[in-house]
Amino acid sequence: MKSKFLLIASIITFIVVACSKIMPPEPDPEAVLAGPVEDLSPQQMANHIKGDEEFSRVFGVSDGLGPIFVAASCESCHAGDGKGHPSTTLTRFGKYNGPTWDPMISEGGPQLQHFSISGYPAEQVPSGIFGMTRLVAPAVTGLGYLEAIEDAAILALADAADANADGISGVPSYIAPPNYFIAKYHHQPVAGKYIGRFGKKAGAIDLTQQTANAYLNDIGITSDFNMQDLYNVQTGNNTGDNVPDPEVSASTVHNVAFYMRTLKLPPRRNAKDAKVLQGEQIFLNIGCGGCHTPTLTTGNSDIAALSNKVIHPYTDLLLHDMGNELNDNYTEGSAQPAEWRTPPLWGIGLTKDSQGGQMFLLHDGRAKTFEEAINYHGGESSGSRTAFQNLTQSEKEALIKFLESL
Protein backbone atom coordinates (compact mmCIF):
# COMPACT_ATOMS: atom_id res chain seq x y z
CA MET A 1 0.00 0.00 0.00
CA LYS A 2 1.25 3.41 -0.84
CA SER A 3 -0.40 4.83 2.26
CA LYS A 4 2.13 3.01 4.43
CA PHE A 5 5.02 4.76 2.73
CA LEU A 6 3.15 8.06 2.89
CA LEU A 7 2.58 7.49 6.57
CA ILE A 8 6.27 6.80 7.15
CA ALA A 9 7.20 9.83 5.06
CA SER A 10 4.80 12.04 6.96
CA ILE A 11 6.06 10.78 10.29
CA ILE A 12 9.62 11.59 9.27
CA THR A 13 8.48 15.07 8.17
CA PHE A 14 6.69 15.45 11.46
CA ILE A 15 9.82 14.57 13.44
CA VAL A 16 11.90 16.99 11.40
CA VAL A 17 9.57 19.98 11.51
CA ALA A 18 7.91 19.47 14.86
CA CYS A 19 10.22 17.51 17.10
CA SER A 20 9.37 19.65 20.07
CA LYS A 21 5.64 18.86 19.85
CA ILE A 22 4.03 15.80 21.38
CA MET A 23 4.55 12.75 19.16
CA PRO A 24 1.44 11.28 17.55
CA PRO A 25 0.57 7.77 18.72
CA GLU A 26 2.59 5.17 16.81
CA PRO A 27 0.51 3.72 13.95
CA ASP A 28 -0.20 0.19 15.13
CA PRO A 29 1.24 -2.12 12.46
CA GLU A 30 -0.99 -4.85 13.88
CA ALA A 31 -4.09 -2.87 12.92
CA VAL A 32 -3.15 -2.16 9.31
CA LEU A 33 -5.02 -4.28 6.77
CA ALA A 34 -3.12 -3.56 3.60
CA GLY A 35 0.22 -5.20 2.81
CA PRO A 36 1.56 -8.30 1.06
CA VAL A 37 1.72 -11.82 2.49
CA GLU A 38 5.18 -12.76 3.73
CA ASP A 39 7.68 -14.76 1.68
CA LEU A 40 6.76 -13.55 -1.82
CA SER A 41 9.58 -13.91 -4.35
CA PRO A 42 10.98 -10.65 -5.81
CA GLN A 43 9.02 -11.27 -9.03
CA GLN A 44 5.81 -11.89 -7.07
CA MET A 45 6.43 -8.75 -5.01
CA ALA A 46 6.86 -6.75 -8.24
CA ASN A 47 3.50 -8.05 -9.54
CA HIS A 48 1.86 -7.26 -6.22
CA ILE A 49 3.11 -3.67 -6.38
CA LYS A 50 1.94 -3.27 -10.00
CA GLY A 51 -1.48 -4.60 -9.00
CA ASP A 52 -1.61 -2.25 -6.02
CA GLU A 53 -1.02 0.73 -8.30
CA GLU A 54 -3.73 -0.39 -10.72
CA PHE A 55 -6.15 -1.03 -7.83
CA SER A 56 -5.97 2.64 -6.83
CA ARG A 57 -5.91 4.00 -10.41
CA VAL A 58 -8.71 6.52 -10.97
CA PHE A 59 -10.10 6.21 -14.51
CA GLY A 60 -11.05 9.30 -16.48
CA VAL A 61 -13.15 9.63 -19.62
CA SER A 62 -10.07 9.47 -21.86
CA ASP A 63 -9.05 6.18 -20.17
CA GLY A 64 -12.37 4.57 -21.10
CA LEU A 65 -14.43 5.20 -17.95
CA GLY A 66 -18.03 4.14 -18.61
CA PRO A 67 -19.99 5.11 -20.66
CA ILE A 68 -22.05 3.91 -17.68
CA PHE A 69 -20.35 3.01 -14.38
CA VAL A 70 -20.64 2.92 -10.59
CA ALA A 71 -17.28 4.33 -9.46
CA ALA A 72 -14.01 5.44 -11.08
CA SER A 73 -11.58 3.12 -9.23
CA CYS A 74 -11.46 -0.13 -7.27
CA GLU A 75 -10.13 1.72 -4.26
CA SER A 76 -13.03 4.16 -4.15
CA CYS A 77 -15.21 1.31 -2.85
CA HIS A 78 -12.55 -0.92 -1.25
CA ALA A 79 -10.90 1.89 0.74
CA GLY A 80 -7.62 0.79 2.27
CA ASP A 81 -8.53 -2.78 1.23
CA GLY A 82 -11.05 -2.82 4.08
CA LYS A 83 -14.84 -2.93 4.10
CA GLY A 84 -16.46 -0.14 2.11
CA HIS A 85 -18.91 2.56 3.15
CA PRO A 86 -22.66 2.40 2.36
CA SER A 87 -22.28 5.53 0.21
CA THR A 88 -20.55 3.39 -2.44
CA THR A 89 -22.84 0.35 -2.64
CA LEU A 90 -23.54 -1.74 -5.72
CA THR A 91 -27.24 -2.03 -6.59
CA ARG A 92 -28.51 -5.20 -8.29
CA PHE A 93 -32.01 -6.24 -9.32
CA GLY A 94 -33.94 -8.96 -11.13
CA LYS A 95 -37.22 -10.81 -11.37
CA TYR A 96 -38.72 -14.26 -11.83
CA ASN A 97 -39.93 -15.67 -15.14
CA GLY A 98 -42.02 -18.50 -13.79
CA PRO A 99 -39.65 -20.48 -11.57
CA THR A 100 -36.55 -19.16 -13.36
CA TRP A 101 -34.56 -16.20 -12.05
CA ASP A 102 -34.16 -13.52 -14.73
CA PRO A 103 -31.25 -11.06 -14.28
CA MET A 104 -33.06 -8.68 -16.69
CA ILE A 105 -30.05 -8.25 -19.02
CA SER A 106 -32.23 -6.63 -21.69
CA GLU A 107 -33.25 -3.97 -19.16
CA GLY A 108 -29.76 -3.21 -17.87
CA GLY A 109 -29.65 -5.87 -15.15
CA PRO A 110 -28.47 -7.33 -12.97
CA GLN A 111 -26.30 -4.39 -11.90
CA LEU A 112 -27.30 -0.75 -11.92
CA GLN A 113 -24.74 1.66 -13.38
CA HIS A 114 -26.21 4.91 -12.10
CA PHE A 115 -23.36 7.17 -13.25
CA SER A 116 -22.36 7.99 -16.82
CA ILE A 117 -19.91 10.09 -18.77
CA SER A 118 -21.21 13.52 -19.77
CA GLY A 119 -23.82 13.60 -22.50
CA TYR A 120 -24.65 9.93 -21.96
CA PRO A 121 -27.73 8.68 -20.05
CA ALA A 122 -27.16 6.77 -16.79
CA GLU A 123 -29.28 3.76 -15.86
CA GLN A 124 -32.29 3.76 -13.60
CA VAL A 125 -33.88 0.83 -11.80
CA PRO A 126 -36.45 -0.42 -14.34
CA SER A 127 -40.06 -1.18 -13.47
CA GLY A 128 -41.25 -4.74 -13.03
CA ILE A 129 -38.45 -5.94 -10.77
CA PHE A 130 -39.09 -8.63 -8.17
CA GLY A 131 -36.30 -7.62 -5.84
CA MET A 132 -33.29 -5.38 -5.43
CA THR A 133 -30.27 -5.41 -3.13
CA ARG A 134 -27.60 -2.92 -2.15
CA LEU A 135 -24.20 -4.44 -1.47
CA VAL A 136 -21.49 -2.88 0.68
CA ALA A 137 -17.95 -3.63 -0.55
CA PRO A 138 -16.30 -6.38 1.49
CA ALA A 139 -12.70 -6.24 2.72
CA VAL A 140 -10.32 -7.81 0.22
CA THR A 141 -7.51 -9.06 2.46
CA GLY A 142 -6.63 -12.74 2.82
CA LEU A 143 -8.60 -13.69 -0.31
CA GLY A 144 -5.75 -15.70 -1.87
CA TYR A 145 -5.97 -18.14 1.00
CA LEU A 146 -9.71 -18.61 0.42
CA GLU A 147 -9.02 -19.20 -3.27
CA ALA A 148 -6.43 -21.88 -2.36
CA ILE A 149 -8.81 -23.97 -0.24
CA GLU A 150 -9.57 -27.24 -2.02
CA ASP A 151 -13.12 -27.88 -3.21
CA ALA A 152 -13.09 -31.09 -1.16
CA ALA A 153 -12.58 -29.10 2.05
CA ILE A 154 -15.61 -26.89 1.26
CA LEU A 155 -17.75 -29.87 0.26
CA ALA A 156 -16.83 -31.60 3.53
CA LEU A 157 -18.60 -28.77 5.39
CA ALA A 158 -21.76 -28.88 3.25
CA ASP A 159 -24.77 -30.60 4.75
CA ALA A 160 -27.65 -29.98 2.35
CA ALA A 161 -30.03 -32.37 4.12
CA ASP A 162 -28.93 -31.27 7.60
CA ALA A 163 -27.85 -34.82 8.44
CA ASN A 164 -26.39 -33.73 11.78
CA ALA A 165 -29.67 -32.00 12.71
CA ASP A 166 -28.14 -28.75 13.95
CA GLY A 167 -30.54 -26.68 11.84
CA ILE A 168 -27.68 -25.64 9.54
CA SER A 169 -27.54 -26.94 5.97
CA GLY A 170 -24.91 -25.09 3.97
CA VAL A 171 -24.74 -25.71 0.23
CA PRO A 172 -22.03 -24.75 -2.27
CA SER A 173 -22.86 -22.16 -4.91
CA TYR A 174 -22.33 -23.59 -8.41
CA ILE A 175 -21.35 -21.18 -11.18
CA ALA A 176 -20.93 -21.65 -14.94
CA PRO A 177 -17.30 -20.68 -15.67
CA PRO A 178 -16.44 -17.82 -18.05
CA ASN A 179 -14.66 -18.89 -21.28
CA TYR A 180 -11.24 -17.76 -19.97
CA PHE A 181 -11.52 -19.78 -16.73
CA ILE A 182 -8.56 -22.06 -15.99
CA ALA A 183 -9.42 -24.90 -13.59
CA LYS A 184 -6.93 -25.82 -10.86
CA TYR A 185 -6.13 -29.39 -9.84
CA HIS A 186 -8.32 -29.15 -6.77
CA HIS A 187 -11.52 -28.07 -8.54
CA GLN A 188 -14.37 -30.59 -8.65
CA PRO A 189 -16.86 -29.42 -11.29
CA VAL A 190 -20.46 -30.67 -11.24
CA ALA A 191 -22.20 -30.70 -14.64
CA GLY A 192 -19.65 -28.20 -15.95
CA LYS A 193 -20.13 -25.75 -13.07
CA TYR A 194 -17.59 -24.79 -10.38
CA ILE A 195 -17.94 -23.77 -6.74
CA GLY A 196 -18.31 -20.00 -6.38
CA ARG A 197 -16.35 -18.48 -3.51
CA PHE A 198 -16.30 -14.70 -3.95
CA GLY A 199 -19.08 -12.14 -3.72
CA LYS A 200 -21.93 -12.06 -1.21
CA LYS A 201 -23.81 -14.83 -3.02
CA ALA A 202 -20.56 -16.59 -4.02
CA GLY A 203 -21.12 -15.64 -7.68
CA ALA A 204 -17.44 -15.72 -8.74
CA ILE A 205 -15.27 -18.83 -8.92
CA ASP A 206 -11.91 -17.13 -8.59
CA LEU A 207 -10.24 -13.77 -8.23
CA THR A 208 -9.53 -13.41 -11.95
CA GLN A 209 -13.25 -13.63 -12.73
CA GLN A 210 -14.13 -11.29 -9.86
CA THR A 211 -11.53 -8.73 -11.02
CA ALA A 212 -12.39 -8.86 -14.73
CA ASN A 213 -16.09 -8.42 -13.93
CA ALA A 214 -15.42 -5.56 -11.52
CA TYR A 215 -13.55 -3.66 -14.23
CA LEU A 216 -16.46 -3.97 -16.63
CA ASN A 217 -19.51 -3.75 -14.39
CA ASP A 218 -18.27 -1.36 -11.72
CA ILE A 219 -16.00 1.00 -13.70
CA GLY A 220 -17.08 0.43 -17.31
CA ILE A 221 -13.57 -0.68 -18.29
CA THR A 222 -13.18 -3.32 -21.00
CA SER A 223 -10.33 -5.84 -20.91
CA ASP A 224 -9.25 -8.88 -22.90
CA PHE A 225 -11.70 -10.80 -20.70
CA ASN A 226 -14.74 -8.62 -21.45
CA MET A 227 -14.23 -6.80 -24.76
CA GLN A 228 -17.66 -5.20 -25.09
CA ASP A 229 -18.37 -1.94 -23.23
CA LEU A 230 -21.60 -1.54 -21.26
CA TYR A 231 -24.22 0.47 -23.07
CA ASN A 232 -27.43 1.87 -21.68
CA VAL A 233 -29.87 -0.64 -23.14
CA GLN A 234 -32.70 1.09 -21.29
CA THR A 235 -32.48 4.06 -23.63
CA GLY A 236 -31.10 2.15 -26.60
CA ASN A 237 -27.88 4.17 -26.64
CA ASN A 238 -25.16 2.08 -28.17
CA THR A 239 -22.54 4.65 -28.92
CA GLY A 240 -19.62 3.94 -26.61
CA ASP A 241 -17.02 6.01 -24.87
CA ASN A 242 -14.96 6.35 -28.10
CA VAL A 243 -11.99 4.72 -26.38
CA PRO A 244 -10.73 1.63 -28.25
CA ASP A 245 -11.29 -1.70 -26.49
CA PRO A 246 -9.70 -3.31 -24.54
CA GLU A 247 -9.22 -0.35 -22.23
CA VAL A 248 -6.92 -2.32 -19.92
CA SER A 249 -4.73 -5.28 -20.91
CA ALA A 250 -4.95 -8.86 -19.69
CA SER A 251 -1.75 -8.29 -17.72
CA THR A 252 -3.38 -5.45 -15.79
CA VAL A 253 -6.28 -7.71 -14.81
CA HIS A 254 -3.81 -10.47 -13.87
CA ASN A 255 -1.71 -8.09 -11.76
CA VAL A 256 -4.76 -6.78 -9.90
CA ALA A 257 -6.04 -10.31 -9.33
CA PHE A 258 -2.53 -11.19 -8.10
CA TYR A 259 -2.62 -8.20 -5.75
CA MET A 260 -5.97 -9.43 -4.37
CA ARG A 261 -4.49 -12.92 -4.05
CA THR A 262 -1.41 -11.82 -2.13
CA LEU A 263 -2.85 -9.38 0.41
CA LYS A 264 -1.89 -10.51 3.89
CA LEU A 265 -4.19 -12.00 6.48
CA PRO A 266 -6.02 -9.50 8.66
CA PRO A 267 -4.00 -9.31 11.91
CA ARG A 268 -5.54 -10.34 15.26
CA ARG A 269 -5.37 -8.10 18.29
CA ASN A 270 -5.68 -9.03 22.00
CA ALA A 271 -6.25 -12.65 21.01
CA LYS A 272 -5.05 -13.90 24.42
CA ASP A 273 -7.11 -11.58 26.66
CA ALA A 274 -9.14 -13.59 29.16
CA LYS A 275 -12.41 -11.95 28.08
CA VAL A 276 -11.61 -12.57 24.38
CA LEU A 277 -10.85 -16.25 25.07
CA GLN A 278 -14.13 -16.56 26.98
CA GLY A 279 -15.94 -14.96 24.03
CA GLU A 280 -14.26 -17.35 21.59
CA GLN A 281 -15.56 -20.31 23.61
CA ILE A 282 -19.10 -18.82 23.67
CA PHE A 283 -18.92 -18.25 19.89
CA LEU A 284 -18.33 -21.99 19.45
CA ASN A 285 -20.79 -23.06 22.16
CA ILE A 286 -23.76 -21.19 20.65
CA GLY A 287 -23.13 -22.50 17.13
CA CYS A 288 -21.67 -19.47 15.37
CA GLY A 289 -18.84 -21.71 14.17
CA GLY A 290 -21.40 -23.91 12.38
CA CYS A 291 -21.11 -21.45 9.48
CA HIS A 292 -18.27 -19.14 10.49
CA THR A 293 -15.79 -22.07 10.40
CA PRO A 294 -12.82 -21.10 12.58
CA THR A 295 -10.08 -23.20 10.95
CA LEU A 296 -9.37 -24.41 7.41
CA THR A 297 -6.22 -25.50 5.58
CA THR A 298 -5.26 -24.40 2.09
CA GLY A 299 -4.20 -26.88 -0.58
CA ASN A 300 -1.23 -26.57 -2.91
CA SER A 301 -1.01 -23.17 -4.56
CA ASP A 302 1.31 -21.99 -7.33
CA ILE A 303 2.12 -19.19 -4.86
CA ALA A 304 4.29 -21.04 -2.31
CA ALA A 305 3.42 -18.53 0.44
CA LEU A 306 -0.25 -19.61 0.23
CA SER A 307 0.33 -23.38 0.07
CA ASN A 308 -0.79 -25.75 2.82
CA LYS A 309 -1.42 -23.05 5.39
CA VAL A 310 -3.67 -23.34 8.44
CA ILE A 311 -5.96 -20.29 8.37
CA HIS A 312 -8.73 -18.86 10.57
CA PRO A 313 -11.19 -17.22 8.16
CA TYR A 314 -14.46 -17.88 10.10
CA THR A 315 -16.28 -18.88 6.94
CA ASP A 316 -17.29 -22.17 5.30
CA LEU A 317 -17.72 -20.42 1.89
CA LEU A 318 -21.17 -22.04 1.70
CA LEU A 319 -24.60 -20.53 1.08
CA HIS A 320 -27.06 -20.44 3.97
CA ASP A 321 -30.73 -19.58 4.12
CA MET A 322 -30.78 -16.55 6.43
CA GLY A 323 -34.58 -16.25 6.58
CA ASN A 324 -36.92 -13.35 5.84
CA GLU A 325 -34.76 -11.11 7.99
CA LEU A 326 -32.10 -10.89 5.26
CA ASN A 327 -34.13 -11.72 2.16
CA ASP A 328 -33.97 -8.92 -0.44
CA ASN A 329 -35.82 -10.98 -3.09
CA TYR A 330 -32.69 -10.82 -5.21
CA THR A 331 -30.32 -13.59 -6.21
CA GLU A 332 -27.47 -14.90 -8.38
CA GLY A 333 -26.23 -18.26 -9.64
CA SER A 334 -27.64 -21.25 -7.81
CA ALA A 335 -28.35 -19.22 -4.63
CA GLN A 336 -31.92 -18.66 -3.45
CA PRO A 337 -33.02 -15.10 -2.58
CA ALA A 338 -32.64 -15.63 1.19
CA GLU A 339 -29.27 -17.36 0.75
CA TRP A 340 -25.96 -15.62 1.40
CA ARG A 341 -22.43 -16.94 1.51
CA THR A 342 -21.03 -16.90 5.05
CA PRO A 343 -18.76 -13.84 5.09
CA PRO A 344 -15.30 -14.32 6.62
CA LEU A 345 -15.06 -12.69 10.03
CA TRP A 346 -11.29 -12.23 9.99
CA GLY A 347 -10.62 -8.50 10.05
CA ILE A 348 -14.20 -7.76 11.20
CA GLY A 349 -12.81 -5.96 14.27
CA LEU A 350 -11.09 -3.46 11.94
CA THR A 351 -14.35 -2.54 10.20
CA LYS A 352 -14.73 0.80 11.99
CA ASP A 353 -11.35 1.99 10.68
CA SER A 354 -12.27 1.60 7.02
CA GLN A 355 -15.93 2.64 7.37
CA GLY A 356 -15.20 6.04 8.88
CA GLY A 357 -15.42 5.33 12.61
CA GLN A 358 -18.83 3.62 12.46
CA MET A 359 -19.62 0.02 11.49
CA PHE A 360 -22.06 -0.88 8.71
CA LEU A 361 -22.39 -4.66 8.89
CA LEU A 362 -24.23 -7.28 6.80
CA HIS A 363 -24.54 -7.27 3.00
CA ASP A 364 -26.18 -3.84 2.82
CA GLY A 365 -24.64 -2.24 5.90
CA ARG A 366 -27.94 -2.18 7.82
CA ALA A 367 -26.44 -3.24 11.18
CA LYS A 368 -24.46 -0.65 13.15
CA THR A 369 -23.32 -2.98 15.95
CA PHE A 370 -22.34 -6.63 16.29
CA GLU A 371 -25.42 -7.22 18.44
CA GLU A 372 -27.69 -5.79 15.74
CA ALA A 373 -25.97 -7.95 13.10
CA ILE A 374 -26.54 -11.08 15.18
CA ASN A 375 -30.18 -10.13 15.78
CA TYR A 376 -30.76 -10.11 12.00
CA HIS A 377 -29.56 -13.75 11.79
CA GLY A 378 -32.68 -15.76 10.84
CA GLY A 379 -33.32 -18.97 8.94
CA GLU A 380 -30.59 -21.54 9.53
CA SER A 381 -28.95 -19.20 12.02
CA SER A 382 -32.02 -18.59 14.21
CA GLY A 383 -30.85 -21.24 16.67
CA SER A 384 -27.59 -19.47 17.38
CA ARG A 385 -29.35 -16.10 17.44
CA THR A 386 -31.72 -17.33 20.15
CA ALA A 387 -28.77 -18.78 22.07
CA PHE A 388 -27.07 -15.37 21.81
CA GLN A 389 -30.18 -13.58 23.08
CA ASN A 390 -30.26 -15.92 26.08
CA LEU A 391 -26.69 -15.10 27.13
CA THR A 392 -26.04 -12.94 30.19
CA GLN A 393 -24.91 -9.36 29.57
CA SER A 394 -21.35 -10.26 30.54
CA GLU A 395 -21.30 -13.26 28.18
CA LYS A 396 -22.57 -11.07 25.32
CA GLU A 397 -19.80 -8.59 26.07
CA ALA A 398 -17.21 -11.37 25.95
CA LEU A 399 -18.52 -12.57 22.57
CA ILE A 400 -18.36 -9.03 21.21
CA LYS A 401 -14.82 -8.56 22.59
CA PHE A 402 -13.88 -11.70 20.66
CA LEU A 403 -15.38 -10.33 17.42
CA GLU A 404 -13.51 -7.06 18.01
CA SER A 405 -10.25 -9.01 18.29
CA LEU A 406 -10.66 -10.63 14.86
Q: Which residues bind ligand HEC (CB under 6 A)?
A: 70-71, 74, 76-78, 88, 90, 135-138, 140, 143, 168, 198-200, 203, 207, 210-211, 214-215, 218-219, 256, 260, 283, 286-288, 290-292, 320, 322, 326, 340, 342-343, 345, 348, 361-363, 370, 373-374, 377, 380-381, 384, 388, 403
Q: Evaluate the omega torsion of the peptide bond into residue 110 and state whether it is cis, within 30 degrees of 0.
A: yes
- Residues 47 and 116: their CA atoms lie apart, in Å, by 31
Closest CA to 194 of 334, 37, 370: 334
Nearer to ligand HEC, 11 or 329 (CB): 329
- Residues 256 and 47: their CA atoms lie apart, in Å, by 8
- Residues 100 and 339: their CA atoms lie apart, in Å, by 16
340 close to 319: Cβ distance less than 8 angstroms: yes
By a kind-dependent CB cut-off of 5 to 8 A, residue 327 interacts, out of ligand HEC, Ca ion, none, with none
Radius of gyration of the chain from its Cα atoms, rounded to whole angstroms: 22
Minimum distance between the CB of residue 325 and ligand HEC, rounded to whole angstroms? 8
Nearer to ligand HEC, 90 or 236 (CB): 90
Minimum distance between the CB of residue 201 and Ca ion, rounded to whole angstroms? 17
Minimum distance between the CB of residue 118 and ligand HEC, rounded to whole angstroms? 19
346 close to 140: Cβ distance less than 8 angstroms: no
Minimum distance between the CB of residue 23 and ligand HEC, rounded to whole angstroms? 34
83 close to 344: Cβ distance less than 8 angstroms: no
Residue 44, amino acid: Q
90 phi, psi to nearest 5 deg: -95, 135
By a kind-dependent CB cut-off of 5 to 8 A, residue 320 interacts, out of Ca ion, ligand HEC, none, with ligand HEC
Q: Which helix (H) or strand (E) holds 294?
A: none
Hey, how many other C-beta atoms are within 10 angstroms of the C-beta on 189? 13
By a kind-dependent CB cut-off of 5 to 8 A, residue 194 interacts, out of Ca ion, ligand HEC, none, with none
Nearer to ligand HEC, 95 or 377 (CB): 377
Nearer to Ca ion, 242 or 308 (CB): 242
User: Which residues bind to Ca ion, rule: CB under 5 A?
Assistant: 64, 108, 111, 113, 123, 220, 229, 240-241, 243, 245
Nearer to ligand HEC, 215 or 225 (CB): 215
Closest CA to 292 of 256, 239, 342: 342
Minimum distance between the CB of residue 203 and ligand HEC, rounded to whole angstroms? 5
Minimum distance between the CB of residue 379 and ligand HEC, rounded to whole angstroms? 7
Beta-carbon contacts of residue 317 (< 8 Å; ≥ 6 apart): 146, 149, 154, 157, 172, 195, 197, 202, 341, 342
Nearer to Ca ion, 58 or 183 (CB): 58
